[in-house]
Amino acid sequence: MDDYELAAQLAHHAGRIALAIRDSGLIAGRALGDAGDEAANRFLCRAIAQHRPEDGLLSEESADTEARLGKQRVWIIDPVDGTREYGEGRSDWAVHIGLAIDGVAKVGAVGLPALDLVLRTDKPIALPNRPTTPRMVVSRSRPPAQALAVAEAIGAELVPMGSAGAKAMAVVRGEAEIYLHAGGQHQWDNCAPAAVAAAHGLHVSRIDGTPLVYNARDTFMPDLLICRIDLAERVLAEIAALPG
């Protein structure tokens, strides 16, 4: 398999593993999220080690090591992005399989297991015409103040949603036009979504317009903007005009 097919297969099968655990009905609450994460992560780490033994790996659910820092190719994964939504039986959670090459998110697959869907960099889908009123996806519980301010400035409709991957893929699928996050993430939260979004012709950057850089020693990533190309200049300008 090439990298694209491997990423897609990993996202699909990890999603099926997580769904099987949830659908069993034998585990609930916080323990369900932990079980889904652990099982999917174990499968992913072993599969990547077998198929790409020379590549580096960064997973939310595994201890980070410095070994990846000397690698040009690093798989950056989140076995279950949105454990809260996963544990609540919702559909807005995701599986992230990203491959960063020389610090750039080049290959990605984002699985939406509850929808039986995998979105991937090598098979982009057509973006529908955007509505007159743009829609911005935000956190269900804690939308960042910057996102709320920008939405008000441009007259965007807010669409509450769960995980980072689900929000990013809502823009890819044409269910929203803007995903602006300023509350801090980690590399595994957006590597795969960024790769998939860029492959679909969307604008992808930090909220100051600079590129996202992966496989840095510090896994923290402060912010992210994914949006339609024709909205990027306006959104970036409104962010720059915010006080502080």
For 80-96, the pLDDT digits (tens) are: 999 999 999 999 999 99
AA identity, residue 29: G
Residues forming a β-bridge with 105: 100
In sequence order, the 6+-apart residues with CB closer than 8 A to the CB of 111 are 11, 12, 14, 15, 94, 95, 97, 117, 118
Q: pLDDT value at position 144? A: 83
Give the residue with greater pLDDT, 183 vs 141. Answer: 183
The per-residue pLDDT for range 165-210, each reduced to its tens digit, is 999 999 999 999 999 999 899 999 999 999 999 999 999 999 999 9
Q: pTM for the full model?
A: 0.97
